[in-house]
Amino acid sequence: MQDAKFKGAFDKEYQEFAIQELLAAMAEGDAKSVRALAKVAGLHPNAIQNLKSGKTSAIKMTSFLKIAKAYGYTLALVKGKVHIPVTKVGTSKYTMAG
């Protein structure tokens, strides 16, 4: 992609698609409604709906981790055989355990 404007637009749309796909993959087999997910994750239902619909693609890492946790997932950084779990500390900060 040599056209910088086209590449920028492509990258933005791909990011939006990737967020929606991650949310859909996490939700697979889980019948939580938007409201139920928002309640468990501690987020506003509009925030969840906007992410699912693609209206919003920007998401804070803390919000993403809350949604993942609500679906039963955890996050880990993986490099080869090294796995570093990301865990919550206190009320809003995350740290890498290891």
CATH for 4-96, among 3.30.70.260, 3.30.2320.30, 1.10.287.70, 1.10.260.40?
1.10.260.40
Distance CA 27, CA 41 (A): 13
More confident residue, 6 or 47: 47
Query: How much is the pLDDT for 66?
Result: 92
pTM above 0.85, yes or no: no
Q: What is the mean pLDDT of residues 6-11?
A: 74
More confident residue, 86 or 33: 33
Query: How much is the pLDDT for 70?
Result: 94
Element housing 21 (H / E)? helix 4-27
From 16, 19, 48, 50, select the one nearest 35 (Cα to Cα): 48
Query: How much is the pLDDT for 34?
Result: 94
- Compute the mean pLDDT over every residue in the chain, rounded to the nearest whole number: 82
Query: How much is the pLDDT for 94?
Result: 52
For 89, the token pair is 């500390």
Distance CA 24, CA 33 (A): 13
Backbone angles phi, psi at 81, to 5 degrees: -95, 0
Domain spans of the chain, in order of start: 4-96
Specify which residues 17 forms β-bridges with.
none
